[in-house]
Structure 1
Amino acid sequence: MDPFQNMQDWRKNMDRFFGENFWGEFEGIMKPPIPHINLYKSDNEILCYVSIPGLDDIDKVDVYVDYATLEIRGVISLQPQHHQLVHEEILQGSFERKIDLPYPVRGDKIHASYKNGLLIIQLHRLIHQETSKNRIKIRSIED
């Protein structure tokens, strides 16, 4: 008996019992997130290395920063023309990653470049301006 067929049968039974969308809840667990990311920090700078192989058009990737969150969206497509996929280990398809940054970053000082399959994003720490103490004048209210 084929063990893979047993697994498919088991999966179909689970779908019938729990509903068609049962496996959708586990997709993030069963599939590793793409693209793979390395995040490095210093006192005032964050470097984010994003593995995006075969990117031929940088306009297919969007990078957003909001305070202390980095969001990357795009498509990884490696399918050569006139060929059929036989074995897949390099993950591909549409992706969306949200990364919590170790500290807030400046929205006006972000640099991104793509070279040798790596998207490199350079972010600078948001330094809060010193605020001075302001004395509040108290007024007397007469009855």
Structure 2
Amino acid sequence: MALLPYEPFRQIDDWRRGLVRLFDEGFWKEMFAPVGPRVDVYETPEDVVVQCEIPGLVKQDDVSITVDNNQLTIAGVIKRQTETTDDRNLYRQERFYGRFSRTLTLPAPVQEENVRATYKNGILEIRLPKAKSDRGRRIPIEFQ
């Protein structure tokens, strides 16, 4: 009979790994997915860039972008073009339409007045120039 070392927290660790696997897989991932359009956020040396997937926008008034206190809010409405006939057979309806809103905390302070946004091929790209901070500036020393 082999002797096994005593590991008092082994069962707790196995239980924790099971919970992580439960919440990282399956319908839980979709259930707790963020509401609103999907986004990618990344930084360049000069900008914070947000790319937002919003297919179906027709005009500029369909979307609103606001920046306030290091929070970016993207809100709007996607209108669906519907057919006038009522005798069609609808088998599946997965495309999103209606009102949407998404608020993100930005990873760096930005200049709110110089934000640029472009929309092409269903992707809304928002470029937010980073705010110049006084961190890292040289402090003069007074010699007496």
Asked whether the two chains share a fold, i.e. TM above 0.5, the reply is: yes
1:53 aligns with 2:84: no
Match in the other structure for 1:119:
124
Over aligned residues, Cα RMSD in angstroms?
2.6
Match in the other structure for 2:82:
80
Cα drift, residue 45 of structure 1: 0.9
Q: SS of the residue aligned with 2:116?
A: strand
1:94 aligns with 2:99: yes
Runs of 4+ in 1 over 6 A off after TM superposition: 130-133
Structure 2 CA distance for partners of 1:40 and 1:30, relative to 1, 3 Å: closer
Identity %, equivalent residues: 32
Q: 1:36 aligns with which of 25, 35, 38?
A: 38
Cα drift, residue 109 of structure 1: 1.1
Cα drift, residue 90 of structure 1: 2.3
The question of whether the paired residues in 2 share the 8 Å contact of 1:111 and 1:121 is answered with yes
| Residue identity in the other structure for 2:93 | E
Structure 2 CA distance for partners of 1:108 and 1:128, relative to 1, 3 Å: same
Larger strand share, 1 or 2: 1
Cα drift, residue 32 of structure 1: 4.7
Aligned length in residues: 106
Deviation digits for residues 15-43 of structure 1 (CA, Å, limit 9, x no counterpart): xxxxxxxxxxxxxx567522111111123
Question: What TM-score do you get using the length of structure 1 for normalisation?
Answer: 0.63
Q: 1:62 aligns with which of 61, 64, 74?
A: 64
| Residue identity in the other structure for 2:99 | S
1:128 aligns with 2:133: yes
Question: What TM-score do you get using the length of structure 2 for normalisation?
Answer: 0.62
| Residue identity in the other structure for 1:87 | R
In structure 2, what is the Cα distance between the partners aligned to 1:129 and 1:59?
Answer: 37
The question of whether the paired residues in 2 share the 8 Å contact of 1:67 and 1:106 is answered with no
In structure 2, what is the Cα distance between the partners aligned to 1:50 and 1:89?
Answer: 19
In structure 2, what is the Cα distance between the partners aligned to 1:78 and 1:42?
Answer: 35
Gaps of 5+ in 2: 1-30, 140-144
Match in the other structure for 2:21:
none
Gaps of 5+ in 1: 1-28, 134-143
